[in-house]
Structures are given as C-alpha cells and as structure tokens.
Amino acid sequence: MTDTARLSEIVASHAEREGALLPILHDVQAEFGFIPEAALDPIATALRLSRAEVAGVIGFYHDFRRQPAGRHVLKLCRAEACQAMGGVALQARLERALGQKIGETKDGITFEAVYCLGLCACAPAAQVDGRLVGRLDAAAVDALAEEMRA
Amino acid sequence: MRFWVPADAAARACGADAVAAAIAAEAARRGIPVEIIRNGTRGMVWLEPLVEIEAPEGRLGFGPMTVADVASLFAAPATHPKALGPTEEIPFFKRQTRLTFARCGRTDPLSLSDYEAGGGLAGLRVALAKKPEEIVDDVVTSGLRGRGGAGFPTGIKWRTVQLARAPKKYIVCNADEGDSGSFADRMLMEGDPFCLIEGMAIAALATGATQGFVYIRSEYPDAIAVMRRAVGIATAAGVIGDAILGSGHAFHMEIREGAGAYVCGEETSLLNSLEGKRGVVRAKPPLPALQGFMASPTVVNNVLSLAAVPWIMAEGPEAYSAIGIGRSRGTIPLQIAGNVKFGGLFETGFGITLGEIVNDIAGGTASGRPVKAVQVGGPLGAYHPVSDFELAFCYECFAEQKGLVGHAGLVVHDDSADMMALARFAMEFCAVESCGKCTPCRIGAVRGVETLDRIAAGDGAALALLDDLCELMKTGSLCALGGFTPYPVQSALRHFPEEFTPVREAAE
C-alpha cells in the first residue's frame, strides 16, 4: 500500500467521529513516525479545515512531530516528584553521557523532557522507547545511556 | 498455585513483567500448575512489584520482588526474606478507608465477574430504579466535590446538565492527570476500570447524556489500553451501549488520547482538544454544563469524582457524607510521592493532618534527612513547611493557608531542596505549558523566570517585582495555570525568605 493510500485509509476510519483530528494525527504519527508535510492537505480537506488549522493543532501539542524522531526516544521526567529524588542530577548525568542536551535529537537519539509519567511514588522515572522505568539511579541511567548508544 | 502480580504501570516500571515471567518459568521448571493474575496495584508503591499468593489465611504479600527472589517463593514462602504477611494486614493498607479503591488490587481489572463479585454494578442498579432528579439529589446529599482540584459540588454540576434542554448531552471524564505527585486516576483506570465506566453510566442516567468520552493523557499508555479493553467488554456485555443493563437508556463510550499538553487538564481546554482543536482555554461563561462539547450540555468530571459515585449510590449518600470534616465530605485518595519512605496511594476520610500523612503514613523521607517542604496539589500547589503540619486535609483548611488540596498529590522534599530553583521551575513549567490565550500567563511566566534569575544574581529589588507579577497572574489569568502558578512561588518566598535574599553573592 502506498503512503497516500494508507493516509486516506486512516482519515476515512475516523471521519465519522466527533472531533476526529487528534485521533487521526495519533494514527498518522503511529504509522509514519511523524506527521509528514504531505499529510496536511488531505487531512484538512477531509475535515473541512484549512491547512493552517491543522498545522496549528500539530504545533500546539508536544507529542506531534513534524520531523522523524531518532531511532531511540528517551523521555526523562523533569517534574517535582522526580526532582525530589535527585532527578536534576540524573538529567545532568544523562546529558554528559549522551553528549546532548535534553530537548535535542543527535546521532539517532531523541532525548526529551516529560512532565510526569504518574510514577511519582517510584521516582525518578523515564520512558525509554515506550517502556516505563522507575527508581532510576546513577547506575540505571548509565545503563540507559549505553542502551541508547548501542 | 495462584499468584497475583500487578500490571499497574508503577509495578511494571519497577520490573513486574520480568517477575511474572520468572514465576511462570520457575513453575514450569518445577512442573507446578500456576495461575498468574495481573491485578491492579494495592497502592503500596514502595513494595512494588508486590506479589501475592493465595493461602488459607488470605492473600500473602511479598515485595519488593526481583527475579532473583522468585525461586525461593516456591521453596519456602513462609520464611521468604521479602515476606510481608497478609497483604491487607500491612498497616499502610489496613488503616485506610477504601471506598473508591475498594477493589483496586484485589481483582483482575478486566474481569466483569470479578467486578460484580466485589460489589460492582450495585450502584448502577440502584440508579436505574430511580428518577434522574433523585440520582442528582443523592449526589448533592453525599457532599461529593470535584476531585480534580476545583472542589465544585458534583451534584450541582449534574443538575445544571439535567435541567438543560438539548438534543444531545455528553459525559466527559477528565483523565488528563498531569500534576506531578498525582497518579490516583491512572491507578483506578488500570486497576478497576469498570468502576469509572459505572460512574459515567450513572451520570448519564442522571443527566440524560447518551455519549461519554474519557480523555486520557498520552503519558498513560497502560491506562489507555486497559480502558479501551474495558469499554469493549462493558459494551459487549450490555452494561453500556444501546441500552444500559437492558434499560431504555443508551450510553456509548469512547476513549480519547491527549497529546502532551498539561493545560488540557483544564476543562474548557480539554473540550477544545476533544473537538480536535488547539487546547486553548475558553472564557466562562458559557459554562461547559450548558455549552460544553460541541456546544452541548456536558458534564466534565475528574476520574475520582465519577468513580466515587457507584459507592455513593450503592451504600447511600448519607454513608458517604458521614465521613469527613466541614464541607469536605467523604474520602480523598491521597497520593504520597517524592522523597518518602512509604510512597503510594492512601484513601482516607478528609480531616487527617498533613503531619500525620508525612510522618506517620509516609514514614518521613526516603533519604532519611529532615523534611523541608511538602508541595500539595501538584505544580500549582503551595509549598508547606513543617510548621504547617497541623493543617487538616480539607478544601477550606488549605485555602485559608494560601494553599490548595488540588488532586491530593503530595510531593515531599528533604532539606537538600533548593526553594529558589523550585520556584523558578514553577514559572518555567507555566511558560512551557501555557496555552497562550491570556497575557498574564503567557508573558507573565516568562517574566517570572527572568525575575527569579535576577534575584538569584543578587538583585534584591526584583523581589517586590516578583510579588507584584504574582498578584497580577493570580487576578488576571483566565484559568488555574496562570492563576495558581504564583502559589508555589509565593509560598516558597513566604516560608523560605532566606533563600531568596542576595546573601549568597555577598558571601562569595
């Protein structure tokens, strides 16, 4: 199936829903890894929106990407409960180990902040390629950095 | 042998899947037939993964379990180093009043028969025998107030929707639980999803709504998956769908996923997001109860508000309102987090003091150092020093101390906490998450970060400016994000002024 056909299929599967745009964008991103430029017009047309409205929605939410992410995505929680358990130092340690700041994609690794994963009683926490990890310490983040670089 | 290994996200984040696999492998090696039930969590997160085995005296707990601890669980459970005795006798569990979380951790979350055996659907059956206005009256009588943080009486909101005339009405569950220190919504959805579905069905009967949405934040992939399956099971079984339990009332439900925006926890922003728009806040009026989703009358309630309703209907509103103090009735699922020895979910009646929670229940800090401050109510909640420990947990008590109960999450910090950094973080977070609609929040948060940086650099004159900015944000912002961000900032300033003075530069 071509990308265009797959996109039409996704859009059609949600067209009857009330407020279909977010479900469509989630599925498009799940399929392609990001929201391709070429997807904007077909989505806008199907939902009778302007292209700018679709772009505006994509830009509003932290989750949606206009460019592909790295081959690994590491999200580290920066919120208060994780800070209370040494999260700030772990962030600095990861930044050193990965050679990149939080918020950057480099060498196939996307390192991002997340504000709470609901793992506040087993902080500090992170999400590694979708997998949740809690009770992080220096040794655990070193192992994560190794895993990311492999 | 029968085992329970929680599939709750916190348990999984601490290795529960590997432990469950190890149990299956060890059983196979020994040729013992086993049943492994993936239950919700009991809420004692410091003990996760908390494995239970069935015994004549009840379920016995073991935790926190690792893969290496599994083999001896088969050999000598009684003398196992991680043995905790009967799970429900553990003091943290035993001293709770678990109404909303009565089943969470006990049952297989996706077994409808487990749910009914544990008292589920009793409330819905009571509601089906009542007139809509009687259901609303019961919820008003119970004294239930919005558990998302605003504390608005749930029954009054329902009445507004019930009295509204419109061709279609909606029940929207706010499961955009973005507050740091909060995880009760997540635990309930993962551990007892039918309870939320039942609460929403009762709200539908009371108001005449026919469509329900649960808006769950994308940071909760497990809760989304469990809720989707539960809605499918409940619909197939006829609990909801074309006819609630075979009655004449239709109620369809759909799970919607957020996309990473803290502000979507604000109800009007959530409604815009649900409609497929940017999650910007709407000015009120109109109230969502009258013009909410797609401009139709809409109940927007937090997970815990809706999940409290089945118990209220089954046991009677008076039984619920008999618990609590002042105008804070019933139970509150406290979420104890951050730097604590015993972190987790603790459901109890309103009125317990902050000191009891932090010292007695949470056992003080995990680091063993003295407690410095407790942030109550999420990133928009105030920092409370130890001198506030006599404060009783109730909406009005916290408001009087310039704080808030919020979603009842508590984040404990030890004496290594840098209050200036935490105040700066509050402003920084507001700047990252502001929807941009109103100026006090959008610009104010950025100026707040800059002003705190000036103070840190030794500019004492900036202190008055920061206070002035905070007052402006409080009075001029459209929603709680800009309006409450000053709470953590000003409370840090008020209780720890020495950390905001330019002393550090003078000392260098």
What are phi and psi for residue B382, nearest 5 degrees? -75, 155
Q: Which residues pair with B211 in a beta bridge?
A: B170, B252
Instruction: Look at residue B506 and tell me whether its pLDDT is greater than 60.
Output: no
Is 1.10.3720.10 the CATH number for B419-507? no
Task: Please judge whether B180 and A130 are an interchain contact, meaning their C-beta atoms are less than 8 angstroms apart.
Answer: no
What ipTM does this complex have? 0.97
Query: What is the dihedral sign for C-alpha B376, B377, B379, B382?
Result: negative
What are phi and psi for residue A21, nearest 5 degrees? -65, -45
What pLDDT shows up at residue B507? Answer: 45
β-strand pairing of B328-329 with B331-338: unpaired
Taking the C-alpha atoms of residue B75 and residue B30, their distance in angstroms, rounded to an integer, is 10
Q: Which residues contact B134 (CB under 8 A, 6 or more apart)?
A: none
Cα B18 to Cα A119, A144, B11, B15: the distances in Å are 18, 17, 11, 6
Q: Least CB-CB distance to B411: which of A63, A119, A120?
A: A120
Instruction: Look at residue B84 and tell me whether its pLDDT is greater than 90.
Output: yes
Query: Which is nearest to B50 in space by CA: B21, B77, B12?
Result: B12
Counting one residue from A and one from B, how many pairs have CB atoms under 8 Å apart?
156
Taking the C-alpha atoms of residue B170 and residue B271, their distance in angstroms, rounded to an integer, is 11
Q: Would you call B305 helix, strand, or coil by DSSP?
A: helix
Chain A residues within an 8 Å CB radius of B345: 121
Q: Would you call B302 helix, strand, or coil by DSSP?
A: strand
Instruction: Look at residue B106 and tell me whether its pLDDT is greater than 80.
Output: yes
Give the domains, in start order, of chain A with CATH numbers: 3-60 (no CATH), 72-149 (3.40.30.10)
Query: Which is nearest to A105 in space by CA: A82, A77, A126, A75?
Result: A75
pTM of the entire predicted model: 0.97
What pLDDT shows up at residue B502? Answer: 65
Please name the fold of domain B324-412: Ubiquitin-like (UB roll) (3.10.20)
Annotated binding residue A77? yes
Query: Which is nearest to A7 in space by CA: A70, B278, A29?
Result: A29
pLDDT tens-digit readout, B429-440: 999 999 999 999
Chain B residues within an 8 Å CB radius of A82: 180
Query: Which is nearest to B340 in space by CA: A13, A39, A14, A81?
Result: A81
Taking the C-alpha atoms of residue A132 and residue B417, their distance in angstroms, rounded to an integer, is 26
Instruction: Name the percent of chain B lying above pLDDT 90.
Output: 97
Chain A residues within an 8 Å CB radius of B273: 22
Taking the C-alpha atoms of residue B405 and residue A13, their distance in angstroms, rounded to an integer, is 42
Query: Which is nearest to A117 in space by CA: B424, B362, B10?
Result: B10
pLDDT tens-digit readout, B316-369: 999 999 999 999 999 999 999 999 999 999 999 999 999 999 999 999 999 999
Element (H, E) at B432: helix B419-433
Query: If 0-12 CB within 10 Å is exposed, 13-18 middle and 19+ buried, where does residue B24 land?
Result: middle
DSSP annotation of B287? P
DSSP annotation of B382? P
Q: Which residues contact B374 (CB under 8 A, 6 or more apart)?
A: B354, B358, B383, B384, B388, B410, B411, B412, B413
Contact B242, B231 (CB under 8 A): no
Same fold, B2-94 and B419-507: no
Cα B105 to Cα A27, B18, B89, B329: the distances in Å are 32, 19, 14, 25
Taking the C-alpha atoms of residue A18 and residue A16, their distance in angstroms, rounded to an integer, is 7
Residue B471 is encoded by which pair of tokens?
A: 């007052």
Instruction: Look at residue B505 and tell me whether its pLDDT is greater than 60.
Output: no
Query: What is the dihedral sign for C-alpha B273, B274, B275, B281?
Result: negative
Query: For residue B503, what pLDDT band results from cuts at 50, 70 and 90?
Result: low
Q: Using alpha carbons only, give the angle B336, A75, B446 rounded to the nearest 5 degrees.
A: 80
Instruction: Tell me the nearest-neighbour CA distance from B413 into chain A, angstroms.
Output: 5
Is 3.40.30 the CATH number for B2-94? yes
CATH of span B112-321:
3.40.50.11540
Task: Please judge whether B219 and A117 are an interchain contact, meaning their C-beta atoms are less than 8 angstroms apart.
Answer: yes
What pLDDT shows up at residue B57? Answer: 87
Cα A106 to Cα A59, A94, A99: the distances in Å are 21, 13, 9
Query: Which is nearest to A64 in space by CA: A38, A41, A32, A91?
Result: A32
Instruction: Look at residue B245 and tell me whether its pLDDT is greater than 80.
Output: yes
Residue B220 is encoded by which pair of tokens?
A: 């909760």
What pLDDT shows up at residue A10? Answer: 97
Instruction: Look at residue B116 and tell me whether its pLDDT is greater than 80.
Output: yes
pLDDT tens-digit readout, A30-40: 999 999 999 99
Taking the C-alpha atoms of residue B369 and residue B397, their distance in angstroms, rounded to an integer, is 28
Taking the C-alpha atoms of residue B223 and residue B303, their distance in angstroms, rounded to an integer, is 12
Chain B, 318-347: which have a CB under 8 Å from a chain A CB? 335-340, 343-345
Cα B124 to Cα A103, A136, B135, B243: the distances in Å are 47, 42, 10, 13
Instruction: Look at residue B258 and tell me whether its pLDDT is greater than 90.
Output: yes
Query: Which is nearest to B105 in space by CA: B43, B48, B23?
Result: B43
What pLDDT shows up at residue B76? Answer: 87
pLDDT tens-digit readout, A40-90: 999 999 999 999 999 999 999 999 999 999 999 999 999 999 999 999 999
Task: Please judge whether A120 and B183 are an interchain contact, meaning their C-beta atoms are less than 8 angstroms apart.
Answer: yes
What pLDDT shows up at residue A2? Answer: 86
Cα B121 to Cα B27, B108, B503: the distances in Å are 36, 16, 62
Q: Least CB-CB distance to A85: which of B183, B259, B339?
A: B339
Contact B95, B349 (CB under 8 A): no
Annotated binding residue A122? no
Chain A residues within an 8 Å CB radius of B417: 84
Q: Using alpha carbons only, give the angle B389, B392, B395 rounded to the nearest 5 degrees.
A: 125
pLDDT tens-digit readout, B420-477: 999 999 999 999 999 999 999 999 999 999 999 999 999 999 999 999 999 999 999 9
Using the Cβ of B267 and the Cβ atoms of chain A, whether some distance falls under 8 Å is answered with: no
Residue A109 is encoded by which pair of tokens?
A: 């690794």
Q: Using alpha carbons only, give the angle B21, B217, B123 rounded to the nearest 5 degrees.
A: 80
Taking the C-alpha atoms of residue B324 and residue B304, their distance in angstroms, rounded to an integer, is 16
Q: Least CB-CB distance to B180: which of A18, A21, A120?
A: A120
E strands, B146-224, where? Answer: 170-175, 211-216
Taking the C-alpha atoms of residue B231 and residue B184, their distance in angstroms, rounded to an integer, is 19
Using the Cβ of B275 and the Cβ atoms of chain A, whether some distance falls under 8 Å is answered with: yes
Cα B435 to Cα B136, B213, B264: the distances in Å are 34, 22, 9
Instruction: Tell me the nearest-neighbour CA distance from A93 into chain B, angstroms.
Output: 18
Instruction: Name the percent of chain B lying above pLDDT 70.
Output: 99
Instruction: Look at residue B508 and tell me whether its pLDDT is greater than 50.
Output: no
Sheet (strand B211-216) strand order: B252-257, B211-216, B170-175, B298-302
Mean pLDDT score, B48-77: 95
Annotated binding residue A120? yes
Mean pLDDT score, B162-189: 97
Q: Terminal CA-to-CA distance of chain B, rounded, Å? A: 66
Taking the C-alpha atoms of residue B397 and residue B385, their distance in angstroms, rounded to an integer, is 15
Domain boundaries, chain B: 2-94, 112-321, 324-412, 419-507
Mean pLDDT score, B107-132: 98
